[in-house]
Chain A
Amino acid sequence: MIGFILRRIVSMFVVLFALSVLVFLIFFATPGVDPARKMAGRNATPETLAAIRASFGLDRPLPVQYLRMMNRIVITRDVESYSNRGVRVIPEIMAAAPVTFALVAGAAIIWIVASIAIGLLAAALRGTLWDPLLMAIALIGLSIPVFWLGEVANLVTQQRWHDTPLFSWVPPLGYTPIGEDPVLWFKHLVVPWIVLSVLFVGFYARVLRSDLIESENEDFVRTARAKGLSERRVLVVHQLRASMITFVSLFGLDFAALVAGGALLVEVVFGLPGVGRLTYLSLSGLDLPVIMATVLYGAFFIVIASTVIDILYAFLDPRIRTA
C-alpha cells in the first residue's frame, strides 16, 4: 500500500511538471509570437512591454524563463495583473475558490440524486414508453448549451415571471457569502445549481441506465433473483451498487474539473464571483498573467485531486494497488 501511494505521488509530480511546461510553452513559446506583446494585452505601451520583458526575464533562455515563471506563480506568488495594476493574482484566486466550490457542490448533490432517480426509473421501466421518454429528456439536457440555459433561466426568474409568486423570491444576480446571510446565500445559488446540474443529470442518467441494463446478465443478479429477492431489491440494492463504480469514478473527475474552472460559463451568466469569472474578466483585456495563473492552478488542482481519488480507491479496492 505504501509502495502504491509513493508510486502514485511520484507520477503525480511528473504530471504536474509536464503540465506546467505545457502551460509555459503555450504562453511563452508559441511560434512566431512575442510573449511580451501577448502578456501586455491588447493596447500596450512600449514601457509596459519593457517592464514585462524585464520582470519575466524574457531576454534569458527558455529554461530560465520557465523557472522564473514557476517561482512567481507557485513560490513567491507575486504575479500581478496587467489591467488592474497592483492586484495580486494568487490571493484573488484563493478568495474566489470558495464561491466556485459552493456552486459545484450544490449542483453535484442535485445531479447525483436526479440522475440516479432517472437512471433507475428508466431501467426499471424498460419496455414501457417511459424509458425512451426519460432517455429523450436526458439527451435534451445533454444537448443544451449551459450558458444559454442560464440566460433563459435569468429571463424567466429575473424578469418575465419574477413578479409572480413562483419566482418572486429569487434575488438579483450576484452572491452573498454563507457567513453573512445563509438564507440569501441559498437563494442566490438555487437557480445556478439547477442550471449547472442539467447537463450532468442527462449524462449520468444515460450512463447509469446502460450500466444497469448491462449488469442484467451478471451472475450476481441471477443469484439475487434465485434467492427470491424482489425485483425492486435486486435493482436498487444489487445492480445499483455494482453500477456505482463507473458512476463514482466519473463523478470524481467531473467534480474536480468543474471546481478547477469548468463552471466558468455558469459563473459568468449568473455573476457569481468564482474562479471561472475571474478568468472571464481577464479574457476581454487578454490579461495573461491572470489567465496563466488560473489555468495552472486549475490543472494542478485536477491532477492532485485525481491522485487523492486514486489513493482513496486503493483503500477501498485492494485490486487496484497491484495494478
Chain B
Amino acid sequence: MGVAPTEPAIDLPLSPGPSRGTWATAVRRLRRDRAAMATLVVLVVIVTSTLLAPVYASRVAQTDPFRSNLSGTVEIDGSRVPVIRPNPSGLGSTPIGPTFGRHFFLGADTQGRDVAARILYGGRASLIVGVAAALLTCLIATGIGLLAGFTGGTTDAVIFRALDIVWAFPIYLLAIALSTSLLVQGLKIGPVAVDPNSLLLPILIIAVVFVPYVARPVRGEVLAVRQREYVEAAIAQGARRRRLLFKEVLPNVLPSVIVIFPLIIATCILTESALSFLSIGVQPPQASWGTIVNDGQNQLYTRPLVSIAPGLLIAVTILALNVLGDGVRDALDPRAKIRRRKRRARDS
C-alpha cells in the first residue's frame, strides 16, 4: 500500500532498519534514567554475589552447603556448640539460629546446612534458570513469530491456532503437567537425554510455557513491519526472501523483543521459584531460592529467616527487573503507549 515512488526506487537506501544511532540513543536515554541505573546496580550486586557462592562457602562459611551436617559442631564466640541441638522437651531438634557472623550467618536448616551459603548457590540456580529460560523463550518465539508472520497463509493460521490453544492453558497447570510428567524419567529425544535432576528440565519447561506470550506479539509486529514502505522498497529492488527476513524484518522486530526481555526474565524467575516451592522445579541436590523457601516452611515459626531471606531476594530481583524493564521500554521507544500484557486477544 502506500506511497507510489515518484523517484526511481533504486536511489532508496536498501536497509533503513534501526541504525547504530537508534541503539546509541537508547543506551544514552537508559543511562539518564536514574531508577533504571539504580536497579542495574542492584542486579549486578546480586549476580556477582551469587557467582561468588563457592568462594563464600569454602573461604568464609567453610562448609559444604549441600551435605547434611546433623552432628556437626561450630565454634561461636570461643565455645563449640552443636549445629543441631535437641529440644529440651526431648521432642525434635532445633538448628542453630542466625549468628550474623562468619559461620551460619543466617543459621542452619533442618539438615544442619549453612543457609546463607545455600541462598547464594540457590540464587545462582534461580538466575541461571530464569535467564536461560527467558533467552530460550525469546529465541523460539521470535523464530515462530517470524515464520508465522512472514510466510502467512496456512502456516500462519496453523501456528496461530496452536499458540492460541497453549495460551488457553493456565501457566501453572501447563508447567505442572509438564514437570510432573517429566520428573520421573526425564526426557529422551533420540540421542539427547535430559536427566530429571538437571537444571535443563525446569529451563525447558518454563521456556515452552511462555513461548505463546512472546510469539503472538512478535507475529503481530512482523505483520505490521511487512506493510512498511522500506520493506516494499526492498521488494521492489528485488531483494530475496532471506534478505527481506534478516535485513529488513528481523532488525525492526528485535527492539520489541528486547523491550520485553527483562520482564520475561522476571516472569521466568518467578515461575521457577513457584515450581521449586511446589517441589517440581529445581530438584535436590541442587537448590534454588524457591526450594529454600520450601525447606524453611517447617521451621517458619522457629527460624523464619530460612524462608524469609530467599523470598525477599526473589522479590528484590523481580522488582529490579521490572523497573529496568520499564526503563528499557522508555529508552527504546519513549512515545510508545504503556504496553500492557494483554493476556489473550479476544477470539474472533
**A interface residues, Cβ below 8 angstroms from B:** 8, 11, 15, 18-19, 22-23, 26-27, 30-34, 37-38, 41-42, 139-140, 142-148, 151-152, 154-155, 158-159, 206-207, 210, 214, 246, 249-250, 253-254, 257, 260-262, 264-265, 268, 279-280, 283-284, 286, 288, 291-292, 294-295, 298-299, 302-303, 306, 310, 313, 320, 323
User: Dominant SS at the A interface?
Assistant: helix
Decide: A38 near B173, CB < 8 A? Known: A207-B340, A246-B340: no
Find the B residue at minimum CB distance from A42.
Answer: B184
B270 to chain A, nearest CB (A): 6
Residues of A within 8 A of B311 (CB): 145, 147-148, 151-152
Is B166 a contact partner of A22 (Cβ separation < 8 A)? yes
User: Dominant SS at the B interface?
Assistant: helix
Find the B residue at minimum CB distance from A262.
Answer: B170
Is A23 a contact partner of B177 (Cβ separation < 8 A)? yes
Residues of A within 8 A of B300 (CB): 151, 154-155, 159
Decide: A279 near B347, CB < 8 A? Known: A151-B311, A262-B170, A268-B278: no
Is B319 a contact partner of A299 (Cβ separation < 8 A)? no
Q: How far is the CA of A145 from the CA of B278 in the complex (A)?
A: 13
Residues of B within 8 A of A299 (CB): 168-170, 173
Residues of A within 8 A of B159 (CB): none
B120 on interface, CB distance cutoff 8 Å: no
Decide: A15 near B185, CB < 8 A? Known: A145-B270, A151-B297, A151-B311: no
Q: Number of contacting residues on B, CB 8 A?
A: 58
Decide: A147 near B340, CB < 8 A? Known: A32-B187, A261-B172: no
Decide: A143 near B322, CB < 8 A? Known: A151-B300, A310-B346: yes
Decide: A262 near B168, CB < 8 A? Known: A151-B308, A210-B338: no
Is B266 a contact partner of A143 (Cβ separation < 8 A)? yes
A136 to chain B, nearest CB (A): 9
B139 on interface, CB distance cutoff 8 Å: no
Is A257 a contact partner of B170 (Cβ separation < 8 A)? yes
Find the A residue at minimum CB distance from B307.
Answer: A151
Is A142 a contact partner of B322 (Cβ separation < 8 A)? yes
Other than the known A19-B165, A210-B340, what 13 A-B pairs have Cβ atoms closer than 8 Å?
Answer: A11-B347, A30-B181, A140-B319, A143-B319, A145-B277, A145-B311, A145-B314, A147-B273, A152-B308, A210-B338, A262-B173, A299-B173, A306-B344
Is B318 a contact partner of A291 (Cβ separation < 8 A)? no
B100 on interface, CB distance cutoff 8 Å: no
Find the A residue at minimum CB distance from B345.
Answer: A249
Q: How far is the CA of A206 from the CA of B338 in the complex (A)?
A: 9
A10 to chain B, nearest CB (A): 12
Q: How far is the CA of A81 from the CA of B307 in the complex (A)?
A: 32
Q: How far is the CA of A250 from the CA of B341 in the complex (A)?
A: 10
Q: Mark B288-302, 1 if CB is under 8 A from A, else 0.
A: 000001000100110
Interface residues of B in 292-348 (CB under 8 A from A): 293, 297, 300-301, 304, 307-308, 311-312, 314-315, 318-319, 322-323, 337-338, 340, 342-344, 346-348
B193 on interface, CB distance cutoff 8 Å: yes
Task: Report, nearest first, the 9 A-B pairs whose CB atoms are least far apart.
Answer: A32-B188, A148-B311, A210-B338, A143-B319, A143-B318, A257-B170, A18-B165, A159-B301, A295-B177
